[in-house]
A and B are shown apart, each in its own frame.
Chain A
Amino acid sequence: MQGFAVALTWKNLFFMLVGILLGVLIGVLPGLGGANGVAILLPLTFTMPPTSAIIMLSCIYWGALFGGAIASILFNIPGEPWSVATTFDGYPMAQQGRAGEALTAAFTSSFVGALFAVIVVTFLAPLVARFALKFGPPEFFAVQLLTFCSFIGMGREPAVKTLASMMLGFALAAVGLDTVIGTLRMTFGTTQLLQGFDFLIAVIGLFGLGEILLTMDEGLAFKGKPARIVTRIVLKTWAMMPRYWMTSLRACLIGCWMGITPGGATPASFMTYGMARRFSRNGDKFGEGE
């Protein structure tokens, strides 16, 4: 409780605001994510007291997460690995003129999830830390295997096609220097392939270029989707959100579980999406903005 009192002083609230704003700005730019943002803006915090600095940096990180959702929803170009799942429904909603609702839902869920996580961390941190330290390579493998299996389980496309795309991804990831013994794999003599393919390059190529070509197909009008957040839409969405409390609670639990076990945010977001689809009565409408 004393921690909350420290965090909620005016000065720290101001740093939170600045951090969130900067974070959103960074998150919207594809290629710059939470971790990069924190690294770039680290010098800003050198003159601050340590508590304020940590507060501001974590706010930059949260802001970047939400900023990634903005680009996903409006442009169908995910700025971050973990906002890929947001494009599945967010962009179709924006196309239907419901961008405001999608954005409100995204940031409200972020807030609920963050609050839940903070409370869990505050009360369970010592227990959780002991547990997380037990994680070794076999456990990592298990978590990733679970994630990839859930891709196949939740995909709407035939399982073989999902498998093919996953294997193509694995193959691309295998390009470059072998991290264990340093042999060159599939570089075919080019120096550029030494480092392999970055995740972002694949995402920008798949989603960004694809989106631009699709827009050409529909006539030259790459505008993204307009969004106006007015209070009425925000209130309407909030009124709607309690209906999804079960989804939200499940997402919180999966998110915390995957955060404690070092699975990370990306598998968590996909798994939550898959679970939400599985448990929903009208799962077929997923991907269309339901």
Chain B
Amino acid sequence: MPAPRVHGRAVETRKAELVVAVLLVLAGLVVIADSIRVGISWGDDGPRAGYFPFYIGCALAAAGAIVAVQTLLRWRALAGSTFVTSEQLRPVLTVLVPTIGYFALIATIGMYAASAIYITAFMLWQGRFRVLPAVAVGVGVPVAIFLLFEVWFLIPLPKGPIEHLLGY
């Protein structure tokens, strides 16, 4: 996405690179730590569970560290390239934040109720639909998905207290 002009605050590419690199190193460290917990040595009957993931974690952390160091070494040269402007960030966050909330809701009240809330809220708030079509679609889609997966295909999806009340 070429950013024509930078209005307001913006996140630079070099900062984004650095943050991602550090996150990769952290992910690598998590993998290493858990591999050490389950054992990275060679047991009586073959490699222990952490043998292979340990080296994966090492490579991941090393690759992340190299990217971080490379970014820092060329910090000056990398200046000026914009990763995202605040104008671009806002619409992205309007989707990203509710979606993260949606995932949190799935864990607590189940997928169907969460989907109904998510779809209805999005149609009212972003789509500027009137209340009746928004609620109709918001409730209709989860019901259709419920019938399709739960009843016909017998594939259980995450359910919450509401479905339990209805006997599922």
Does residue B46 face the partner (Cβ distance < 8 Å to A)? yes
Stretch at the interface among A209-217, A239-247, A259-267: A209-217
C-alpha gap A167/B45 in the complex (Å): 26
Chain A contact residues, majority secondary structure: helix
Q: Contact check, B46 vs A164: say whether CB atoms are below 8 A apart.
A: no
For chain B, residues 34 to 53, give those with C-beta under 8 angstroms from any C-beta of chain A. 34-35, 38-39, 43, 45-50, 52-53
Chain A neighbourhood of B39, CB < 8 A: 183
Does residue A253 face the partner (Cβ distance < 8 Å to B)? no
Q: Contact check, B70 vs A160: say whether CB atoms are below 8 A apart.
A: yes
Q: Contact check, A186 vs B31: say whether CB atoms are below 8 A apart.
A: yes
Does residue B18 face the partner (Cβ distance < 8 Å to A)? no
Chain A neighbourhood of B47, CB < 8 A: 180
Q: Contact check, B38 vs A163: say whether CB atoms are below 8 A apart.
A: no
Q: Contact check, B24 vs A164: say whether CB atoms are below 8 A apart.
A: yes
A219 and B56 in contact (CB under 8 A), knowing A178-B49, A180-B46, A185-B34?
A: no
Interface string of B55-72 (1 = CB under 8 A from A): 011011001101100100
Does residue A228 face the partner (Cβ distance < 8 Å to B)? no
Q: Contact check, B59 vs A181: say whether CB atoms are below 8 A apart.
A: no
Q: How large is the interface on B (under 10, 10 to 19, 20 to 34, 35 or more residues)?
A: 35 or more
Chain A neighbourhood of B49, CB < 8 A: 178, 180-181, 183, 185
Does residue A146 face the partner (Cβ distance < 8 Å to B)? no
Q: Contact check, A217 vs B1: say whether CB atoms are below 8 A apart.
A: yes
Chain B neighbourhood of A220, CB < 8 A: 91, 126
Chain A neighbourhood of B99, CB < 8 A: 209
For chain A, residues 197 to 216, give those with C-beta under 8 angstroms from any C-beta of chain B. 209, 212-214, 216
Chain B contact residues, majority secondary structure: helix
Chain B neighbourhood of A214, CB < 8 A: 1
Chain B neighbourhood of A218, CB < 8 A: 1
Does residue A54 face the partner (Cβ distance < 8 Å to B)? no
C-alpha gap A178/B35 in the complex (Å): 11
Q: Contact check, A161 vs B67: say whether CB atoms are below 8 A apart.
A: yes
A219 CB to closest chain B CB (Å) equals 7
Q: How large is the interface on A (under 10, 10 to 19, 20 to 34, 35 or more residues)?
A: 20 to 34
A164 and B95 in contact (CB under 8 A), knowing A171-B53, A181-B48?
A: no
C-alpha gap A167/B99 in the complex (Å): 27
Does residue A168 face the partner (Cβ distance < 8 Å to B)? yes
Chain B neighbourhood of A7, CB < 8 A: none
Q: Contact check, A186 vs B60: say whether CB atoms are below 8 A apart.
A: no
Does residue B92 face the partner (Cβ distance < 8 Å to A)? yes
B69 CB to closest chain A CB (Å) equals 10
B10 CB to closest chain A CB (Å) equals 13
Q: Contact check, A186 vs B53: say whether CB atoms are below 8 A apart.
A: yes
Q: Contact check, B56 vs A167: say whether CB atoms are below 8 A apart.
A: yes
Does residue A4 face the partner (Cβ distance < 8 Å to B)? no
A216 and B91 in contact (CB under 8 A), knowing A178-B49, A183-B38, A185-B50?
A: yes
A-B contact pairs, 26 of them (CB 8 A): A160-B67, A160-B70, A161-B67, A164-B64, A167-B28, A167-B59, A168-B27, A170-B60, A171-B27, A171-B28, A171-B31, A174-B31, A180-B47, A181-B43, A181-B45, A181-B48, A183-B39, A183-B49, A185-B34, A185-B53, A209-B99, A212-B95, A213-B96, A217-B92, A220-B91, A220-B126
The 4 closest A-B pairs by CB, nearest first: A183-B49, A164-B63, A167-B60, A178-B49
